[in-house]
Structure formats: structure tokens, C-alpha cells
Amino acid sequence: MSATRRANRGPSAAAGNRAALIAAAREVFATNGFDAPLSLIARTAGVGQGVLYRHFPTRAALALAVFEENLTEVETLAADPGTTVADVLAVIVDQVTASAAFIAMLDPTSDDPRVLEPACRLLTLLDTKLADPAQRGGIRAGLGATDLVLAVAMLAAVLARTDVASRQTTAEHAWALLLHGLLD
């Protein structure tokens, strides 16, 4: 988990450092929770704390960067007309399972544009998939994107309080129960 600190390569290392910090944050938050020391994230990324704070001045900024990367993965999948809403939800559930420790801090009722913009993107891509019967993936008629996001938020709330060792099993069981209510 800990990495040795790399020699300072200056501005040319900025993109690599940022990517290493996001990967380390995903790992550390998943195993140690959202309140894990930021110094542990910096160490895991192999950079100093100054580099971490240069890229991410707050814990929330770092969590949002991980969330943005996750959303980009979902958008890439959703862009394929051969994928269904169920396919997209499966990836989101996997991400929530891995990131449950800090997903809850992304309050959907927030008026913070850093939270609103990605939330709107997610709702739009789900609405687009739901509008096409071939891409609906067995999701019950009458359910919209906000209903699906609410189901995922319910799962995230449970997983945020579940120990790492049983998180995967709990996620699978809870999501199966939620899907029962979402599918035709």
C-alpha cells in the first residue's frame, strides 16, 4: 500500500502525479474510509503532501475527482447503443461498492456546482437510455433516472456503514433486493 517517494520531476510530472493521487484516493478511501489521513493518500501515490494539496486543496475536491473519473467510465459505457440501463447500473453499483466510504459525502441536494454538474450528466445519460425501449434493460415503465439514482443512493448509504470485509456480499444482496423493485 505504501510507495516510496519519487524524485521531484517538476511540472512535467503534474499529470502523472494527479492520476497517481486519484488512484491512491480510490484505494485508500475504499479500505480506510473517507476520513483516512490525506498523508496516507500522498504516500500511497508516491508524492509529498504539497503535491496533493496543489492538485486537491480539499478532501472533497479529491473525492470529486474520483467521482468524475467514475462518471467518465459510465458515460463511455452508456455511449454504446448496445448497452442497457441495467448494464450501466451494474457499473455504477460496482463503483459504489468500491467507493462507498466517500460516495455519501456527495450530497445530491447540494447547490455546489461541482456536485450538480456531474449529477445532471448522470441523470441525463440514464434518461436517454430509459427513453429507448431497446436500451431500457427491463427497468419497469414509469421509473425515471431519479428513481434509479435514489436506489443507488440507498445502496451507498448501506455500504457506507458496512465493513470492508462484507461490503461485496452486502452490495450484491442489497442490489438484488432493489432490482426486484426496479425490473418488470
**Domain assignments of the chain as residue spans, ordered by start:** 11-53, 58-180
Low pLDDT (below 50) residues in the chain: none
- CATH code of the region 11-53: 1.10.10
Summarised one tens digit per residue, pLDDT across range 44-93 is 999 999 999 999 999 989 988 998 899 999 999 999 999 999 999 999 99
Asked whether the beta carbons of 23 and 47 are under 8 A apart, the reply is no
Of 178, 170, 133, 136, give the one whose Cα is nearest residue 154.
Answer: 178
Percent of the chain at pLDDT > 70 equals: 88
- CATH code of the region 58-180: 1.10.357
Spatial separation of the C-alpha atoms in residues 117 and 32, rounded to whole Å? 28
**CB-based contacts of 6, cutoff 8 Å, min separation 6:** 13, 46, 47
Single-letter residue type at 95: Q
Summarised one tens digit per residue, pLDDT across range 70-80 is 999 999 999 99
The two domains 11-53 and 58-180 share their CATH topology (first three levels equal): no
Cell 470492508 belongs to residue: 164
Q: What is the mean pLDDT of the chain?
A: 89
